[in-house]
Structure 1
Amino acid sequence: MMERRGVTRRHVLGSAAAGAAASALTGPSEAWAAGPPNIVFIMADDLGYADVGCYGRPDLKTPHIDRIAARGVRFTQGYANSAVCSATRTALITGRYQYRLPVGLEEPVTTRFTGGLPAEHPTLPGLLRRAGYRTALVGKWHLGSVAKFGPLQRGYDTFWGFRGGTIDYFSHRGTDDKPDLWDGDVRVEEVGYATHLIGRRAVETIGTAVRAGRPFFLSLHFNAPHWPWETPEDEAESRRIAGSNLRHFDGGTQATYHRIVAEMDAQIGRVLDALEQHGIAQDTIVVFTSDNGGERFSDTWPFTGRKTELLEGGLRIPAIVSWPRRLPAGVVSAQPMITMDWLPTLLAAAGASPDPVYPPDGIDLLPILTGEAAERPRSFYWRYRANAQAALREGDLKYLKIRDNTFLFDVVADPLERANLKARRPEDFARMEASWRAWNATMLPEKPDSFTESYTGAQLADHFGVQGPAPLRPVTAGEAHR
């Protein structure tokens, strides 16, 4: 259910009174009078569920992200399709489970991976371009570093950003220490802090699109707050870790992380201001979300776990959408949703449709957002090769497997995933384990040679006893690791 209210950390997971959104709705005829909406899709990188003010974090100010929530709908049960970035981005751009495509089996895509999205597979930007939209990606791609698998070849008219998983905020080099800043398919060099450059380019892209007089789709994918842990004052840290893989487990602080998030929030503010200045804010859909759960310095309260883990903290993400022309403002929704829902939702808002040959696994959320349809239970499935993880969210229950350990949680009543109900509710456990197996049989099998990553006890002190990534062969739910 959806509700309007102020948000505190205590009730950030609460449900809302039914029907609260309906009174503020604009009728469909008025909503479409201005033509198809523009779309700005903002994705943070490794941002934790509670790393923004409107999700209850008391010590980190994000006024501009909070502006989006104040003008729209904030989901409290938003999920990422994966616990790592490129797998989630595969689901975002296709609207389907990432496990249907080889690129989605990489956890995540690395520089050794020479594949990408198949040319024949429809994508969100490609389908919107077919519907008359100008399409642009500013920021992170991470769905193939080889040119023939780049964003210009997969539906975007323009691209400015980086192809890999991360770049240094100052040198703009990737984890392989190679320059990774591109304007289209041409490598470029620019001086400046990456978050600032991305924000500036986004504002310029909006201006160009407005002058062209066509609806536009802007994917604004920040590097922040992904490591390396560098604020605009940390160029010395950039020099210190130059030539490394940028992870620097000896770097970063809470203060540094807060500043990285704040700098991203400020650039989002510039983008929102640009929409206002061009007079198109009312007719622009703005989405803000993250690609997976938080990493080292993130706040994932009230969940446990983090990036690379199928615990709620690795999967729960902030998810916010505003569309002043049509959606209510200041609403909190408890509707479960997932990254792959954005494709059918945004296509519906644009008056377009998915390719029937590649039907989405996600759903169109618009009827629920507008109050035309009731909220409903959902089922979401995950697997993650590192530590042989499997998960299924079905209604309020969650089946979870980590190596040889299996669990059943009520993640609404017990978001910390502490009370294992497997023995108390054996029928539910057996049903959900069987359901996960049946779903898994419809996906591509795991590849023992695909990349997967997790954190060990040597890297993170709260992972004591964890000694490495996945087994060398796939392990299915209920099967013992040998």
Structure 2
Amino acid sequence: MLVISSSCKLCCMSKSLTAWLSIGLLVALTNNAVSQTSHPNIVLIYADDLGYGDTSCYGATAVATPHIDRIASEGIRFTDGHAPAATCTPSRYAMLTGQYAWRQQGTGIAKGDASAIIQPGRVTLASMLHDAGYKTGVVGKWHLGLGPAEGADWNGKIAPGPLEIGFDYCFLIPATGDRVPCVYVENHHVVDLDPDDPIHVSFKTKVGNEPTGAENPDLLKMHPSHGHDRTIVNGISRIGYMTGGHRARWVDEEMADRITSKAVAYIEENKDDPFFLFFSLHDIHVPRVPHPRFVGTTAMGPRGDAIAQTDWCTGEILAALDRLNLTDNTIVLFTSDNGPVVDDGYQDEAAEKLGDHQPAGPLRGGKYSSFEGGTRVPFVLRWPAKVKANQTSDALVCQIDLLHSFATLTGQTLAAEAGPDSHNLMAALLGEDSQGRDHLVQQARTLSLRQGDWKYLEPGRGPAINKNTNTEVGVAPQAQLYNLRADLGEQKNLADQHPQRVDKMKATLGRVRSESSSR
């Protein structure tokens, strides 16, 4: 008969308890790791008018972008990453809703006093992540309209807006820096508004007696090259008329600092929960008025200096993530809303000081263009917990797919009507799939279709060159077909040599256009 002493019993019990505690701890740690990697923080840094060739990780030598380059070197640099459209408002609409903007009326370049384009109740990238347990915030340029159909009340509560479509917090440039009203909006109200100095805005007729660029060019510190000659704010004339709100008006030179500090504060305040930050830069959109500490840091004048400032903004976000020990499990995606433009309305010597720099790199066209330079943009992603460093991917990816991809990542199921053109590209974004999309519709003045190495541009009417910006817009009366593997610069139209391919791609584009969903 085996007799076990009480001390042995205690020892066995102790070992058993230790084993169970170890197993429990392992399970807890495993569950926590799974939870973290399935609900990483997400920071989307969205530049404005930044071209495929405007950063050093895509070949630029006239300006250094070490912080953007860091994202690429610690993650993936996509060579075929796209904005949904060649202009800002439709790209932003498509990115947030997962729907091609050309399907929805009223999604063209929005006026400064446009009403809310995305209506409450619509599934958006923000609302989906909010439902997944994320804190959601947007800081920076909005340009998707604010307020009801009759117009925003700039002197009262401004709604609907981001807070009605899934964001918990917003600090906004309502439209663009070259459009009135030149004030910030935080949540539902204009920041620092003096009620005794109410704001009035019009894009039709002059309001008040504020000086304008057309009438008072002697008051300007930056002159327009075309348009942009209405109300003067901070020595720069804008699109549209504005009076009042003097205490609330922004100072352009301080804009990047202001929105960056708000973005960093948002990260700090939400560091203990999964968060989504849409950090929407104003740079390098006109008017390009970088902070004095960036002036002269490049040889390209304000446009080059604004690129340097863009990189600084990015670096401040990365530094905040490092400081708060959030780097490893935060997805950081840096990209742009459309391709580059040099002269977009102000005399800032962007064309004269361009030198050998190629804003679109090897691509043809730029902002407003159906050629690749219109939508193929910098697209770099970092997620140290899941994504291997120093990768380059040729997969065809688009910002419109963030909704479906991040829904899949966080275990959300999209309703049938949600994100109708958003595809699940999570494998491509993680570097696990080298193909990406099998087709993509690109939006400019006309539509184009990408399928593999081939690109079809449908015929269109109108001038081939935007006379204001000197951009090739890609419009021609006949169909265009390019093989991008052999001809990335889209110089040789192969439509006559491949009529069957033209017919097939034309039919595919027609089918996508006629259906309500491509998902």
Q: What CA distance in whole angstroms lies between the structure 2 residues aligned with 1:369 and 1:79?
A: 13
SS class of match (1:220): strand
2:36 to 12, 34, 44: 34
Measure how far apart 1:131 and its partner are: 1.1
Q: Which amino acid aligns with 1:184?
A: N
Distance 1:369 1:424, change over 3 A: same
| Aligned-residue offset at 1:175 | 1.6
* In 2: Cα distance, 1:154 partner to 1:384 partner: 26
Q: Could you say which residue in structure 2 is the equivalent of 1:83?
A: 86
Q: Secondary structure at the match of 1:437?
A: helix
Does 2:373 align with 1:313? yes
Is 1:226 aligned to residue 285 of structure 2?
yes
- Preserved CA contact (<8 Å) 1:354 1:360: no
Partners of 2:430 and 2:375 in 1: CA distance: 26
Task: Give the corresponding residue for 1:351.
Answer: 411
Q: CA deviation at 1:362?
A: 2.4
Q: How far did residue 438 of structure 1 move? A: 2.4
For 1:180 and 1:353, the matched residues in 2 are separated by: 38
Pick the aligned partner of 1:362 from 396, 413, 422: 422
> Quick check: 2:42–2:276 contact (8 Å CA) kept in 1?
yes
Q: What is the CA distance between 1:326 and its match in structure 2? A: 0.7
1:341 offset after TM fit, Å? 1.3
The separation in 2 between residues aligned to 1:316 and 1:73, in whole angstroms, is 16
Is 1:209 matched with 2:213? no
Aligned to 1:409: 482
Q: CA deviation at 1:138?
A: 0.6
Answer yes or no: is the 8 Å Cα contact 1:283–1:323 preserved in 2.
yes
1:134 and 1:38 mapped to 2: Cα distance? 9
CA deviations over 1:10-57 (Å, ceiling 9, x no partner): xxxxxxxxxxxxxxxxxx978525362111110000000011111111
Structure-2 separation of matches of 1:75 and 1:228: 29
1:379-399 Cα distance to aligned partner (Å, 9 max, x none): 1113434xxx22111111111
Name stretches of at least 5 consecutive residues in structure 2 with no aligned partner. Answer: 1-29, 148-157, 192-247, 343-349, 351-357, 460-474
Distance 1:396 1:374, change over 3 A: closer
CA distance in 1, matches of 2:137, 2:171: 8
Alignment map for 1:171-190 (pairs within 5 Å): 174-176=178-180, 178-188=181-191, 189=248
Which structure's CA Rg is the greater one? 2
Aligned pairs for 1:4-403 (under 5 A) are: 32=34, 34=36, 36-104=39-107, 106=108, 108-111=109-112, 113-146=114-147, 147-164=158-175, 166-167=176-177, 174-176=178-180, 178-188=181-191, 189=248, 193-210=254-271, 213-233=272-292, 254-296=300-342, 297=350, 299-370=359-430, 372-373=432-433, 375-376=435-436, 378-385=438-445, 389-400=446-457, 401=459, 402-403=475-476
Which amino acid in structure 2 is aligned with residue 222 of structure 1?
A: L
Change (3 A) 1:339 1:51: same
- Report how far residue 442 of structure 1 moved: 2.7
Identity percentage over the alignment? Answer: 32
What is the CA-CA distance between 1:373 and the residue it aligns to? 4.6
Distance 2:312 2:44 in 1: 16
Q: Tell me if structure 1 keeps the 8 A contact 2:364–2:490.
A: yes
Task: Name the CA distance, whole Å, in 1 between partners of 2:433 and 2:51.
Answer: 30
Unaligned runs of 5+ in 1: 1-27, 168-173, 237-251, 445-482
Question: 1:401-440 maps to which residues of 2 (within 5 A)?
Answer: 401=459, 402-440=475-513
Using the alignment, how far apart are the partners of 1:143 and 1:82 within structure 2? 14
The answer to whether the 8 Å contact 1:133/1:214 transfers is yes
- 3-state SS in 2 of match to 1:89: helix
1:282 match: secondary structure: coil
Structure 2 CA distance for partners of 1:144 and 1:120, relative to 1, 3 Å: same
One-letter amino acid matched to 2:509:
W
Q: Could you list the per-position Cα deviations for residues 446-477 of structure 1 after superposition, in whole angstroms to 9, with x for gaps in the alignment?
A: xxxxxxxxxxxxxxxxxxxxxxxxxxxxxxxx
The residue type equivalent to 1:94 in the other structure is: T
Greater Cα shift, 185-194 or 139-148: 185-194
- Counterpart of 2:442 in structure 1: which amino acid? W
Residues 277-298 of structure 1: per-residue CA shift (max 9 Å, x gap): 1011101000000001111156
Contact 2:77 2:392 in 1 (8 A): yes
Q: Which moved further from structure 2: 135-144 or 110-119?
A: 110-119
**Contact 1:111–1:145, Cα closer than 8 Å, also in 2:** no
Whichever residue aligns with residue 193 of structure 1, its letter is E
Give the drift of 1:151: 1.0
Cα distance in 2 between the residues matched to 1:70 and 1:411: 26
Partner of residue 11, structure 1: none
* C-alpha distance in structure 2 between counterparts of 1:270 and 1:112, whole Å: 31
Q: Tell me the CA shift for residue 254 of structure 1.
A: 2.4
Q: What secondary structure does 2:386 align onto?
A: coil
TM-score (norm 2): 0.70
- Closer/same/farther in 2, CA of residues 353 and 71 from structure 1, 3 Å limit: farther
